Amino acid sequence: MASQEQVIEALRKINYPGYSRDIVSFGLVRDITVKNGEVEVLLEITTAQETIPGQIKDAVEKAVLSLEDVTECNVVVSVKSAPEAGTGGADQSAPTPPDQLEGVKHIIAVASGKGGVGKSTFVSNLASAVAMLLKKQGLKGERVGIMDCDIFGPSIPMMMGANGRPNVSDNMIHPMVAHGVKIMSMGFLVDDEQAVIWRGPMVMKAIQQFAHNVEWGELDYMFIDLPPGTGDAQISLTQTLPLDGALIVTTPQAAAYTVARRGAGLFEKVDVDILGVAENMSYLQAADGSKQFIFGSGGGQKVADALDTELLGQIPLDPFVREGGDRGIPQVVADPKGLAGQTFISIAEKIIEAVEID
């Protein structure tokens, strides 16, 4: 006899139309009852697209009826209409409708267990590298975005060299553009001192506005710079945004391991795939090519092993990486052939490959 768990497992195999993420992890399944081979599934979908509820309903019926001993399946879909862009009135308790970021193909969160490991440096270099690679493939225009959700210490504007205030028209904010990347950050809107007094609900509201009231246009990749840590704010964020996967940034020392592991636990909880681990500040390379492991070694590999994922690369400790960040020119742009630049580019290639195959 089919159990509730078996029904959930079957539903986990159904992806939201157009996404590589399933309907269970998106939080669309509200209730399942199983009685004498009769299954009832209650779904709640927030969408403005008329065809989506029917598509999901059909897929759910098919999946459930294929389970052993299921004789009947009744699927009830409750559809909430998506809030109009510009109202900013998203229901905070409901999962954000995934189809609201319609033009964005892949959304990847970048997280770290704690601050100072180079997460924002990584995001700015990675996004610039992906933009360069897509341009090389002949794709025109800006196809990559960064949504800087590190509300309390937004360093992306400085690291990308994007300054000033974004334009607003028809209630939509136009992202700033630098190094071929569209950028939105709280750093454009408030001063540093103001951001510190922000509270959870305000942060959530801001992020929802970043998702829905910013004119992102058509993007192949959007990278989300998450606030460091593993608290409620990060959990809500990962539920608000329709993520394809997550990257973990860590440093090599042993202490970083536990922290990064905790950060990854966050994504396991919300059922988001971990695409890989990037180890930053791995070593200092001397002129003769010898490496000095200032912060120890092995942390990144250990985190990757524990998460059953890949160590995507080891970024050297390089004063030019820091200087580039301070000057607003990511190292992949300043010196794409150098060791750090090459490492970022190779990680970017691996991520593109991982996401495209999925």
Number of residues that bind ligand ADP (CB under 6 A): 18
Comparison of 204 and 248: residue with beta carbon closer to ligand ADP: 248
Binding flag, residue 292, ligand ADP (CB under 6 A)? no
User: Does 185 sit near ligand ADP (CB under 6 A)?
Assistant: no
Closer of 16 and 295 to ligand ADP (Cβ): 295
Among 96, 230, 280, 343, interactor with ligand ADP by CB under 6 A: 280
117 binds ligand ADP (CB under 6 A): yes
112 is a contact residue toward ligand ADP (CB under 6 A): yes
| Binding flag, residue 251, ligand ADP (CB under 6 A) | no
Q: Which residue's CB atom is positioned nearest to ligand ADP?
A: 118
| Bridge partner list, 45 | 79
Q: Which stretch binds ligand ADP (CB under 6 A): 7-15, 165-173, 310-318, 350-358?
A: 310-318
From CA 331, how far away is CA 106, in angstroms rounded?
Answer: 24
Instruction: Map the footprint of ligand ADP across residues 219-238, applying CB under 6 A.
Output: 228
One of 46, 100, 121, 250 touching ligand ADP (CB under 6 A): 121
Nearer to ligand ADP, 116 or 201 (CB): 116
Q: Exactly one of 83, 98, 113, 118 binds ligand ADP (CB under 6 A); which one? A: 118
Shortest distance in whole angstroms from residue 111 CB to ligand ADP? 10
- Report, in Å, the least distance between residue 202 CB and ligand ADP: 21
* 317 counts as binding ligand ADP under rule CB under 6 A: yes
In angstroms, what is the minimal distance from the CB of 184 to ligand ADP?
17
Residues that bind ligand ADP (CB under 6 A): 112, 115-121, 155, 228, 280-281, 315, 317-318, 321-322, 325
